[in-house]
Structure 1
Amino acid sequence: MKNSTTPLKNTDRATLLARPLSILAGTSVKNRLFKSAMSEQLADRNHAPTEELVHLYRTWSEGGTGLLVTGNVMVDRTALGEPRNVVLDTESDLSLFRRWAEAGRQNGTQIWMQLNHPGKQTPNFLSTEPVAPSAIPLANGLEKTFNCPRELTEKEIVIIIKKFAWAAAKAKKFGFTGIQIHAAHGYLINQFLSPHHNRRNDQWGGTLENRLRFLREVYSAIREAVGEDFPVGVKLNSADFQKGGFSEEESMQVLKALQDEGINLIEISGGNYENPSMVGANVKESTIKREAYFLDYAEKARARLKIPVVVTGGFRSAAAMEAALASNAVDMIGLARPLAVDPRLSHKLLSDGSHKITLKKLTTGIPSLDFMAMLDVTWYEQQLARIGKGKPTKPNMSAWASVLKTLASVGLLSFQRRRA
C-alpha cells in the first residue's frame, strides 16, 4: 500500500479516491474521502448523544466515506459553542456514546471524535462570562451577541488541558477510532495561537513558542491518555485572515512542530467567526476553478510534511478531487455540506468519475435576514436532522422555509450567530 509520502502517478487518477491510506502502523482508511465536522445540533437537552445522531452516522458509514469526524464535542458543559452541542465530561450521560461509535464504524469506516472548547466564541445567551487567553472581545458586530471574555488563570488552563485528555480516553473506550483536536475557526486553541486574541505575558503568550504551548500540552495530554497506537489529528487554520492574527507563516511552523510531536493527520482550514473563510467568504476566482478553498496553502505545507494532509471546503466534483490527489497537495478530500445534502455522495464519487454535486445558493433575498437566521448553517442542520430521523434530505428546500422552520423550532435563541 502506498502511504502519503509516496508520489501518486497520473496513470492512477481513475482510482485515486478509492485507494486506502495508512495513518499509522496498523491503522488505515479504506479510501480518500474524509467527512469533516459540521454543526449537527442533535444532542439532547443534557448534551448527550441521541438516537438521531446514531442514525445519522450509521447512514454516513453506509454511504461509502472512509473517515467520519464528528461535529465538535465540547469538553466542558459550562463552555458551549451552540445550544445542542454534545458534551463529554464527568457529568455526561454515557449511555449512547458507545452506540454512536458503533454506528460510525459500520462498513469498515473510521470514526474520529472531534474535541473542542469554544473559549469566547460562546453566545451570550449560553454564557454571561466566557473565558479566553486574554480579555479581548470579538469584533465586527459580534460584540452584540458575544460577551467580552475573562482571562483564564494558569490553574484554569491546566484544568482544561486535563478535560481534553479525559474526554479522549473515554472516546477511545467507547469505540471511536481516533481523535481530532479542533485548533481552528477561532475556538479556544486557535485563540491561544493568535497574537491578536492572545496578549498574555506569561508562558502561554507572546512568542509563537509560548502561544503554541497550549495546543502542545493538549496534544501531549491526549497522547498520554490514548497511547501511541491510537490516531490523533488536528484541525488547524492556514491563517486567521485577520489583521494581527495567526498568519500563514506561523501556521507552517506549527504544522512542522506538530508533526515532530507525533500528530498523525492535519486537516487544513481557515478563518474564524470574525472572518468566516471556512464557509467560503471572499473566495477568489482561481479558488473557485480548483474548487478547494485552501489548496494553495496545502501545496506549500505538503512539501514540509510526511503525515497525511486533508483539505476541506469547496470540493464538489470527482474530477477536482482526483486532480487534487494527483497533484500530491493533499492525501484526503474533506467533505462537509455536500454530505449533508447527499449522505451517499461518497459512494457515487467512487463509482462514477464524472459525478459532481451542486449546492444551491441560499438566500431569502434579504441579506440581513439571512445573516440573522444563520441561513448558511441552519439550512444544513435541518438536512442533518432529516437524515437522523430516517427521512430523505430536501436539496430544494427554500431559504424561506428554512428560516420559518428555524424560528418555529428554536425561537429567538436561534437568531444568534453560529458557524461550523
Structure 2
Amino acid sequence: MSLTSTVESEINIAEKAVIKNRLFKSAMSEQLADKHNAPTEELIKLYEAWAKGGTGLLVTGNVMLGRDALGEPRNVVLDQSSDLSLFKRWAVAGTQNNTHLWMQLNHPGKQVPSFLSKEPVAPSAVPLGNGLESGFKCPRALTEAEILNIISQFAWASGKAKECGFTGVQIHSAHGYLVNQFLSPHHNRRDDQWGGSLENRMRFLLEIYRAIRATVGDDFAVAVKLNSADFQKGGFDEGDSIEVIKALQSEGIDLIEISGGNYENPSMVGEGASESTLKREAYFLDYAEKAQQLMSVPLVVTGGFRSAAAMNSAIASGAADMIGIARPLALDPDLGNKLTASDKHAIKLPTLSTGIKALDAMVMLDITWYEHQLERIGKGKSPKPNLSEWISVLKTFGSLGSLAFQKRRV
C-alpha cells in the first residue's frame, strides 16, 4: 500500500487521520498512574515530550477497563469512576505539534499477577505455563454475560476517549491478553459461540470492534494490535492471523499493527529472533510481507527497528506502511525529529544485566529499566542511557517493596 519511500512521508488513515510522518510510537507500559489508577503529571509531561519530539502518531500504554482487571499495579484505568479532566489534559499534551494520540484499550484476562487478582478470568480455565504458574493464578472461565459486559466496556471507554480529545483508539488483541486469549485455540477451549472454530474464536474481537464503531461513529480512527502468531504449540498461528486480518478489513478497521508472542513466549521483545531477522531489525517483517498481499488498510510493523535506513527500507519495499517504535523513544523522546531529518540516524539500545540472571528476571530488568527512563522524562529530566542496572533494581524494590519479588509481567 506504501506510495512513498521514507519515514518522513505523510500518510492518510482512511480519510480520518492525516499523520505527518510514518513513525508510530507503539504502546509501552509506563507505570505512571497514581494510586487511584489515574493519569499523573509525569504521564502527561511524558506525552508532551513525545509530541514535541516529532513522532507522528503516539499510542498510549495499556488503559484498562476496570480496577478489578489490572495487568500491572500502576496501569491507568478508564471507567465510570475516572476523573475525565485528567484524560483531557493528557489528550491536549499528546496532540501538540500536529501529533495524533490514540488510546490503547485492554483487558488482561488471565495475565494478571497473583498479587493483583484472586480470581482472574479468561475464555477457559487454562493456566499460564512455561514457568509462570507460580506467579499467575489459574483463571475462571467467563460467562456469556461477562463477555458481553466486557464488550460494552470497550465501547464505553472508546466513547470517552473520543470525548476527551484522543484522536483514535487501539484494541489490544496481541501479547496474550484477553482478546488474544479468545483467538488462541490453546487458551480458548469453549464449546459455545465464542470458541471452537476460528470464526467463533474471532467473534469476541469483531463484536468489540462493532460495539466501538457504533459508539464513536465513522469519523473516528479505530485500530487493532494483532499477533502475527503466538509462537506457542497449539496457539494462534499465521494462518489464523491472516484470516482475522481479512475479517477486520471487511468490518472497516482503519489500521492494523502487527506484533507477536505472549508472556509465555515473549517474541515481541526479540526473544528467539534469528540472526537474519536481527539484521533486518524488524522482528515480524517476513509476516508483514505476506500480509501486505491482501492488505487494503495501513499496516504497522513493530519490534526491532533501530535505524532510519532499516525503516525506510521496510517502507520502500511495501512491507510496512508505518514503523512502530517503542523502547528507542524511552531513551530519546526527540527521536522522531532526528529520524525524519536524517536517513543516516540510528540508535543503539544497551544490553542490560546485573550479572545475576535470576535477579534480572526477578525485577524484569528489561522492562523496569526502561520504565525508569520514562519516569525521568515525565519529571522533566533527560533519559540516562548509562543508568546503572543496580540503581534500577534498587528503584524497583523501593517502589514495589515486597511486590518486587512477584512476577508482574514478562
Q: Provide TM-score, normalisation by structure 1.
A: 0.96
Instruction: Note if 1:115 corresponds to 2:105.
Output: yes
Aligned ranges 1:153-168 → 2 under 5 Å: 153-168=143-158
- Give 1:249's aligned residue: 239
Aligned ranges 1:122-137 → 2 under 5 Å: 122-137=112-127
Aligned ranges 1:19-418 → 2 under 5 Å: 19-418=9-408
Cα drift, residue 194 of structure 1:
0.2
User: Residue by residue, what CA displacement relative to the aligned partner does 1:142-199 show, whole Å, maximum 9, x if unpaired?
Assistant: 1101000000000000000000000000000000000000000000000000000000
The residue type equivalent to 2:181 in the other structure is: Q
Alpha-carbon separation, structure 2, partners of 1:270 and 1:77: 26
Percent identical residues: 69
**Is residue 47–residue 85 contact of structure 1 (8 Å, CA) maintained in 2?**
yes
**Is residue 164–residue 222 contact of structure 1 (8 Å, CA) maintained in 2?**
yes
User: Residue by residue, what CA displacement relative to the aligned partner does 1:40-75 show, whole Å, maximum 9, x if unpaired?
Assistant: 000011111111111000000000000000001001
Q: Secondary structure of the residue that 2:202 maps to in structure 1? A: helix
Alpha-carbon separation, structure 1, partners of 2:301 and 2:320: 7
**Is residue 374–residue 415 contact of structure 1 (8 Å, CA) maintained in 2?**
no
Alpha-carbon separation, structure 1, partners of 2:111 and 2:392: 24
The residue type equivalent to 2:388 in the other structure is: S
The residue type equivalent to 2:137 in the other structure is: N
The 3 A distance-change label for structure 1 pair 191 and 355 is same
Q: Secondary structure of the residue that 1:297 maps to in structure 2? A: helix
**Is residue 2–residue 321 contact of structure 2 (8 Å, CA) maintained in 1?**
no
Cα drift, residue 309 of structure 1:
0.3
User: Residue by residue, what CA displacement relative to the aligned partner does 1:353-406 show, whole Å, maximum 9, x if unpaired?
Assistant: 111000000111111111111001100000000000101111011211211111
**Is residue 58–residue 100 contact of structure 2 (8 Å, CA) maintained in 1?**
yes
Alpha-carbon separation, structure 2, partners of 1:328 and 1:80: 37
Q: Provide TM-score, normalisation by structure 2.
A: 0.99
Q: Secondary structure of the residue that 1:143 maps to in structure 2? A: coil
Alpha-carbon separation, structure 1, partners of 2:251 and 2:192: 23
Higher mean Cα deviation, 90-99 or 276-285? 90-99
Q: CA RMSD in A?
A: 1.0
Q: Secondary structure of the residue that 1:142 maps to in structure 2? A: coil
Q: Secondary structure of the residue that 1:113 maps to in structure 2? A: strand
**Is residue 62–residue 75 contact of structure 2 (8 Å, CA) maintained in 1?**
yes
Higher mean Cα deviation, 200-209 or 88-97? 88-97
Q: How many residue pairs align between the two structures?
A: 410
Q: Secondary structure of the residue that 2:258 maps to in structure 1? A: strand
The 3 A distance-change label for structure 1 pair 30 and 92 is same
Cα drift, residue 6 of structure 1:
5.0
**Is residue 113–residue 409 contact of structure 2 (8 Å, CA) maintained in 1?**
no
Structure 1: which 5+ runs fail to align? none
The residue type equivalent to 1:30 in the other structure is: K
Q: Secondary structure of the residue that 2:84 maps to in structure 1? A: coil
Cα drift, residue 419 of structure 1:
4.2
Alpha-carbon separation, structure 2, partners of 1:171 and 1:410: 29
Alpha-carbon separation, structure 1, partners of 2:379 and 2:90: 15
**Is residue 48–residue 94 contact of structure 1 (8 Å, CA) maintained in 2?**
no
Alpha-carbon separation, structure 1, partners of 2:405 and 2:257: 29
The 3 A distance-change label for structure 1 pair 50 and 407 is same
Q: Secondary structure of the residue that 2:171 maps to in structure 1? A: strand
